[in-house]
A = this chain, B = another copy of it.
Amino acid sequence: MDLARVVGTVVSVVKDPQLVGIKLLLIRPVDPQGQFTGSAMIALDAIGAGPGETVFYVTGKEASFAFLPEHVPADVSVVAIVDHVDESTDARGKRRQT
């Protein structure tokens, strides 16, 4: 799973019936320091997140697991709001022999 910030919402009238009633978020991946690292994508909201919040999202078929027993045709879902990330001291690039 990757970190992202919610940066908007998406409005769609004509859509797959299983997507009806699910909030669509526009999210952008961020690194643990909150800086954008990738392009915006559309995600289903499984937990009630909103613009400005840092979240993490799941991709692939497992994105639809948050909506079981429905088999929602979706490949990105926001599944948690992140309170904080604890990085250990060697997390940002210092080499360590294993």
**Chain B residue nearest in CB terms to A12:** B80
Could you say how many copies of this chain the assembly holds? 5
Query: Number of contacting residues on A, CB 8 A?
Result: 74
Interface residues of A in 50-98 (CB under 8 A from B): 51-52, 54, 56, 58-66, 68, 71-77, 79-88, 90-91, 93, 95-98
Q: Are A86 and B1 in contact (CB under 8 A)?
A: no
Distance (whole angstroms) from the CB of A95 to the closest CB of chain B: 5
- Which residues of chain B are near A81, meaning CB under 8 Å? 12-15
- Which residues of chain B are near A63, meaning CB under 8 Å? 62, 73, 75
Q: A31-B40, A68-B71, A71-B68 are in contact. Are A56 and B1 (CB under 8 A)?
A: no
